Chain A
């Protein structure tokens, strides 16, 4: 269906080719997952499939990419629109019209599909993706998951034979992600569609994959194989696979269900082991940095938060969880003083953040928004650091110092837009942390992160907490929560529905439980590292006795 013959691709001005000698054949009716670290060339590979690389990006392409026999050399993306559909990372950026139904028919109108056929296909797509309730809605009024499904529907109506998706679930809460992936899997099975998905959160997609395509980066050769084969020694692997490696399971289980079947001996071995001390620091010794008392907030006439009572302690990492639209971002904005509560009071170090001048505000609260680029407007990394020092009246080199501590060796002459997601977040973080605020807020920090960058972020957050900073993270990433959070707060429709040690809150939730917890339930284990340490301890014990 999609065929790469000796494809190499070099971006204009780049020294190294991003893709080198790629030979690849993706057969019809297969769900293929593309994995790899950030910057390994996953997106380039995906965009080469429908000709956006090189037609829209420029650069030099050697070799030949064919979709159902049609070469991307002779055909620009628009002439392949009837064969292959591409859904980008940010669905809202790809919308051309303003209403759901118009967006669904846009491609068909361009292709010249007969009106009667259009009517039928719109109805089919609405049913297939469960969009019929939304047909007349404006696109901007939709939630992230709904937007993602509309973006998929908009390319599906053109009846392409292949569908290419770049991180389709990165903005979605676990339930919405499940929903999108389930619809895709149904398309593969019922319609015989070929689907290619690039994804960082492998724990979500791996159970659906027929084949895995590993892009190692640095111009090394691609590896293709069944998920079991590739995952044995893949450098990027979901917690489930890590657990299987620790426990020595063969063959590799790829779904929670398969893992539970083989996990009985492991559960027995672990039953006598003790969990890591992973709880919040004892509140008697720690001081309260921020608190909300009976806080409500309404947009127009809609309550986004209702009578919320929360407090955040020094040295504590708190995860805010809940589906899209549950009020997480609003809560962060209230703490950061960007909004005033409609009722109740928000206190950070005894002051109302919304009343502080911005100069004083940055000294007590730091917020890194979902798109860290918003905080950055320097031409280079060095320029950004220098501006930050100058404008905030800090000693020269303060910001750079913080940055080096967070992530050493960041190229000083790089434009912030050309950094990887992880580097950009580190830069934004250092700009915020240069003021040394006692309260740090992060909104969905791991979007677009691979496992290594996530591990680095986890290290940074743990370090900050150890120094006494109170960290609040709003996130959909349950694995991140499992690894770093001391406490988890669960929001639903503006109410706090759960607040307590992360282990207690997330372990028994069918939606928010991390993979390890699902496999090892009912014992509340959270992470692979924890299991590994527990196993070494018990092995030591066995060895000594």
Chain B
């Protein structure tokens, strides 16, 4: 499959026109995250991380949320450190190359299996580090999705029946940064009155104005949304109720189905049946609600060839890992007992490299005039936002 317009027009023009559908980016990232969950091999994990960082670096826009990858990187590092520290303090003790020893606390017999302190081996640290790394890479994939496509944009793609829920989430997302600003203001104001800003007394004194401010803002927002036509009367309220019910039931069935299929605890057909019924119910809900809605959408994100390529490249990673697992190829799960270099399985590596495809095929997500990419206006931006504080 090839993007038709990429061949016709020069890539610079064709690509500058639009941003990739947010769902495509999230699907791609989900593929990488799912692959990362499958393995503890540090070589594979680091390879996934490298691919994620590379694609984000080449394809992110300059919008504010694009910087979230760095936040998730830091979060990942914290996760690894915590995992290793927990291992050092409380981990199970197996024989191996002892690096150093902590004083051991003897626990009563009912706490068998838990140990505090004791000899720390290189093997156990490596194992813990790899497990931490796995979680960190999953976080990184999530961060990549965040910085490539704003969660707001993803919410805009929700079908009409989920619109209300989508608005609630949007408002909550908008509110979080506001809350941080309010807390900053209240802290500064407390300092101006010579009152504590830290500790329990500070917390109590701050909670009231922050919450009052929050309440004020939500009332204001509600009346603003009301006067701007939110929730205008639709003709068929019964249809709407059925649509909501069908969507809700469908979502639950899909969840159950996915769980059954993945966990393999129930017979295989139960999961499949639940999935099919769930998808059917969802489709009903979406169609029903699509019929009743009077809303329209401004510049909907389009799903084109590039989107398919990006999704396929994400799916390719998971497929490669699944095939490797089914064939029993060595190296997805690594053990450091005995200590040694992990094996490098070729098939999964190849799969991960396929996930680089978006950095070649996807359109670049910026370069329209007036977008926050222009450095000159940026400077002024910050200066004004500074003043408005």
Contacts and interface: CB of A to CB of B under 8 A. Distances in A.
Interface in A288-322: 299-300, 302, 304
Contacts of B381: 137, 141-142
Interface in A138-168: 138, 140-144, 146, 154-155, 158
Interface string B162-188: 000001001101100100000001101
A479 interface: no
Nearest to B152: A98
Contacts of B389: 329
Nearest to B371: A136
B220 A98 contact: no
A79 B294 CA distance: 13
Interface in B184-219: 185-186, 188-197, 205, 208-209, 212, 217
Contact of B387 (A140, A330, A337): A330
A115 B212 CA distance: 39
A121 to B, nearest CB: 10
A115 B297 contact: yes
A302 B387 contact: no
Given A138-B63, A388-B193, A56 B380 contact: no
Nearest to B212: A417
B232 A108 contact: no
B9 interface: no
B7 interface: no
B296 A362 contact: no
Interface residues of A, number: 91
A391 interface: yes
B383 A302 contact: yes
A108 B190 CA distance: 42
Interface string B375-388: 00101111111111
B188 A81 contact: no
B229 A110 contact: yes
Interface in A110-153: 110-115, 118-119, 122, 132-138, 140-144, 146
A542 interface: no
Interface string B356-372: 00000000000010111
A155 B224 CA distance: 10
A304 B383 contact: yes
B232 A110 contact: yes
A115 B226 contact: no
Given A158-B229, A325-B386, A114 B221 contact: no
A140 B385 contact: yes
A78 B226 contact: yes
B229 A82 contact: yes
B64 interface: yes
Interface string A485-519: 00000000110000000000000000000000000
A41 B55 CA distance: 57
Given A97-B170, A107-B229, A304-B386, A391 B297 contact: no
A76 B233 CA distance: 10
Interface string B211-252: 010000100111111111111110000000000000000000
A93 interface: yes
Given A78-B229, A112-B294, A302-B383, A97 B152 contact: yes
Which residue of A112, A300, A493 has the most chain B CB atoms within 10 A of its CB atom? A112
Interface of B: 63-64, 152, 156, 167, 170-171, 173-174, 177, 185-186, 188-197, 205, 208-209, 212, 217, 220-233, 294-300, 368, 370-372, 377, 379-389
27 contacts: A55-B226, A56-B223, A56-B226, A77-B223, A78-B230, A81-B228, A93-B224, A96-B167, A96-B225, A97-B170, A98-B174, A110-B295, A113-B296, A115-B299, A118-B298, A122-B298, A136-B368, A137-B381, A141-B385, A158-B229, A325-B388, A327-B387, A374-B185, A374-B189, A391-B193, A391-B195, A494-B383
Given A115-B297, A377-B205, 5 more contacts: A56-B226, A78-B229, A102-B298, A138-B63, A375-B192
